């Protein structure tokens, strides 16, 4: 209680440092909607794919920050089920960039103790992307320093529908009883099974919506939005988001 009273009266610093946020408990699980790659590129006169490439390079830096801060779980929204509506040329370039990113970064991620899990419908991605994803998951499966979830061909509504289908199948076969279905049971049928819900959700590029991302899991997640485009999102902004999270009083429906 006194911690929250202290934070209420202390003037928020204009610049937040690593030392500032280490004074209080850090979020266990951070999720990010990496938005604004295309707009960043357009603002600089570059093709949109240049923005996605810059965004991929920035992801590397933020993953390193998570490792440095000892954040346990980190989830990023990389490609949604709705993103297939984009021009074929852009989608093809994104899939090629995905393969290139995994090929380039896998050894570093393994060395840094990062465990990779892809959430979404991987089987609908190009074969080369599927092979790289399975390779990355297999070769990082024993790591435990940072659990990195990458949402690819992911949609929150589809995830919930898939969970319902799984529950219906298991109920019909007698593996699950109707009265056994509760929040905990339902969570076990989601793509994020055994991963705690996000404490903090960051969205870049100024949009104030959840965009079909982790709909079930974000029931009590704290949101932080910045107008900064994802390629320019830095440690400064990351620390600011965590600092804001630490200043909030999470009541979870209570007082």
pLDDT in tens, 27-36: 999 999 999 9
Q: Which of 7, 83, 121, 143 is catalytic?
A: 83
Residues present in the chain in total: 255
Q: CB–CB of 151/77 below 8 Å?
A: yes
Q: CB–CB of 149/74 below 8 Å?
A: yes
Q: What is the pLDDT of residue 2?
A: 45
Measured in Å, how far apart are the chain's first and last C-alpha atoms?
A: 11
User: Tokens for 56?
Assistant: 């991929």
CA pair distance 122, 149, nearest whole angstrom: 13
CA pair distance 7, 15, nearest whole angstrom: 16
- Is position 58 annotated as part of the catalytic site? no
Q: What is the pLDDT of residue 251?
A: 78
Which residues are 225's β-sheet partners?
Answer: 203
Which residues in the chain come in under a pLDDT of 50? Answer: 1-2, 5-6, 8-11
Ordered by where they begin, the domains of the chain are: 22-155+197-247 (3.40.1180.10)
The set of residues, in sequence order, having a beta carbon less than 8 Å from that of 193 and lying 6+ positions away, is 187
Which residues are 80's β-sheet partners?
Answer: 154
List of long-range contacts for 53-58, beta carbons under 8 Å, 24+ apart? 53/97, 54/231, 55/230, 55/231, 56/97, 56/101, 57/231, 58/230, 58/231, 58/232, 58/233
CA pair distance 106, 139, nearest whole angstrom: 8
User: Tokens for 103?
Assistant: 């090929």
- Is position 162 annotated as part of the catalytic site? no
């Amino acid at each position: 209680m006194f911690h929250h009273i202290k934070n209420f009266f202390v003037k928020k610093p204009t610049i937040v440092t690593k030392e500032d946020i280490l004074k209080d408990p850090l979020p266990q699980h951070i999720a990010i909607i990496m938005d604004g790659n295309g707009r960043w590129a357009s603002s600089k006169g570059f093709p949109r794919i240049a923005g996605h490439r810059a965004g991929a390079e920035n992801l590397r830096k933020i993953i390193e920050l998570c490792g440095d801060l000892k954040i346990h779980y980190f989830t990023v929204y990389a490609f949604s089920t709705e993103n297939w509506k984009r021009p074929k040329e852009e989608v093809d370039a994104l899939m090629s960039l995905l393969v290139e990113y995994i090929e380039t970064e896998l050894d570093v991620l393994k060395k840094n103790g990062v465990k990779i899990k892809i959430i979404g419908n991987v089987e609908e991605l190009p074969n080369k992307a599927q092979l790289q994803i399975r390779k990355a998951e297999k070769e990082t499966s024993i790591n435990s320093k940072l659990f990195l979830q990458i949402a690819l061909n992911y949609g929150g509504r589809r995830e919930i529908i898939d969970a319902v289908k799984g529950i219906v199948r298991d109920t019909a076969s007698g593996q699950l009883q109707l009265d056994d279905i509760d929040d905990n049971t339902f969570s076990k049928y989601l793509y994020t099974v055994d991963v705690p819900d996000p404490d903090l959700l960051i969205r870049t590029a100024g949009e104030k919506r959840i965009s079909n991302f982790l709909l079930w899991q974000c029931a009590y997640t704290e949101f932080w939005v910045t107008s900064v485009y994802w390629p320019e999102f830095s440690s400064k902004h990351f620390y600011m988001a965590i600092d804001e999270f630490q200043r909030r009083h999470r009541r979870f429906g209570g007082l």
